[in-house]
C-alpha cells in the first residue's frame, strides 16, 4: 500500500517538476522542499531509510557536482531533482531513470541538431530542459 502511494506521489512530483522545467527552465524551491518532506515521511513509513536511500540520493549529489564543475551545463535543478527522487526510489530505479532519461534526451537533441543542420540553422547553443524527458521514462518503468 505504501509503495503504491510512494509511486503516485513521486509521479505527481515528477509531473509538476517537468511542467515547471519545460515552461520556465527552472523548478521552484518549494516544490523540492515539499516533495523532499513527503519522500522522507514515506521512506520512514516503509522502514527503508538508510544506506539504500542515501546511495540513491548520491546520484543527485553527483549531478550537482557535475553541474558545478561544468559551469551549470547540467542544471542544478536536475541534480536537486535526483537528490529528492532518491528519497522515493531505490538506487537502481533512480539510476535507470537517469540513464534512460539521458538516452531519450540525447536522441531527441540529436534529432533537433540534425534537423537544424539540414535547414542550415545553428542549434549548438540551444538549451533543452531535461525533466520533461523523465515523464515517459517513468511511465515505462512503472508499467514494466
Q: Where are the domains of the chain?
A: 2-143
126 has pLDDT over 90: no
In terms of C-beta distances under 8 Å and separation of at least 24 residues, what long-range contacts does 11-19 make, across chains too? 11/138, 11/142, 13/38, 13/39, 13/84, 13/85, 13/88, 14/85, 14/131, 14/134, 14/135, 14/138, 15/135, 17/77, 17/81, 17/131, 18/129, 18/131, 18/132, 18/134, 18/135, 19/132
123 has pLDDT over 80: no
Position 127 confidence tier, pLDDT thresholds 50, 70, 90:
confident
pLDDT at residue 138 in the model? 96
86 has pLDDT over 80: yes
At 15-66, the pLDDT tens digits run 999 999 999 989 999 999 999 999 999 988 888 778 888 999 999 999 999 9
pTM for this prediction: 0.91
pLDDT at residue 50 in the model? 83
Eight-state DSSP code of residue 48:
-
Amino acid at each position: 500500500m505504501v509503495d503504491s502511494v510512494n509511486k503516485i506521489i513521486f509521479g505527481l512530483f515528477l509531473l509538476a517538476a517537468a511542467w515547471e522545467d519545460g515552461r520556465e527552465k527552472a523548478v521552484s524551491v518549494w516544490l523540492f522542499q515539499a516533495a523532499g518532506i513527503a519522500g522522507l515521511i514515506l521512506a520512514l513509513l516503509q522502514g527503508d531509510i538508510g544506506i539504500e536511500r542515501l546511495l540513491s540520493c548520491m546520484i543527485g549529489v553527483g549531478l550537482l557536482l557535475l553541474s558545478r564543475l561544468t559551469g551549470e551545463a547540467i542544471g542544478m535543478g536536475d541534480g536537486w531533482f535526483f537528490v529528492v527522487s532518491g528519497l522515493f526510489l531505490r538506487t537502481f530505479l533512480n539510476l535507470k531513470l537517469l540513464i534512460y532519461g539521458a538516452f531519450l534526451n540525447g536522441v531527441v537533441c540529436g534529432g533537433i541538431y540534425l534537423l537544424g543542420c539540414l535547414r542550415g540553422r545553428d542549434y549548438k547553443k540551444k538549451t533543452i530542459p531535461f525533466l520533461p524527458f523523465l515523464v515517459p521514462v517513468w511511465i515505462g518503468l512503472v508499467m514494466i
